[in-house]
Amino acid sequence: MRDLTSDTITEAVISTMGDTKDARVAEILESLVRHLHSFVREVGLTEDEWAQGVDFLTRTGQKCTPTRQEFILLSDVLGVTMLVDALSNRRPAESTQNSVLGPFFREDRPQYDEAADISGGLPGTALFFEGRVVDREGAPVTAAAVDVWHSDADGHYDVDVPGQVGPAMRALFRTDETGHFSFRSIRPNSYPIPGDGPVGELMSATSRSLMRPAHVHLMIDAPGFERVTSMLFPSDDPYLDNDPVFGVKESLIESYDRYAADTGPCRGLTDEPYTLLRHTFVLEPLRMG
pLDDT digits (tens, 9 = 90+) for 245-274: 999 999 999 999 999 999 999 999 999 999
166-178 confidence digits (pLDDT tens): 899 999 999 999 9
Looking at the chain, the whole-number percentage of residues with pLDDT higher than 70 is: 100
Measured between alpha carbons, how far is 127 from 256 in angstroms, rounded to an integer? 9
Measured between alpha carbons, how far is 57 from 197 in angstroms, rounded to an integer? 11
Measured between alpha carbons, how far is 169 from 160 in angstroms, rounded to an integer? 12
48-92 confidence digits (pLDDT tens): 999 999 999 999 999 998 878 899 999 999 999 999 999 998 899
User: For all residues of the chain together, what is the average pLDDT?
Assistant: 95
Under DSSP, the state recorded for 96 is: P
Per-residue CA distances from 40 to 10, 37, 44, 46, 282 (Å): 11, 5, 6, 9, 44
The answer to whether residues 226 and 283 touch, using CB atoms and an 8 Å cutoff, is yes
Name the architecture of domain 75-282: Sandwich (2.60)
| Domain ranges across the chain | 9-65, 75-282
The answer to whether residues 154 and 190 touch, using CB atoms and an 8 Å cutoff, is no
SS3 category, 55: helix
What's the whole-model pTM score?
0.89
Rounded (5°) CA angle 212-214-217: 100
Q: Which residue has better confidence, 2 or 62?
A: 62
Q: Which residues contact 32 (CB under 8 A, 6 or more apart)?
A: none
SS3 category, 195: coil
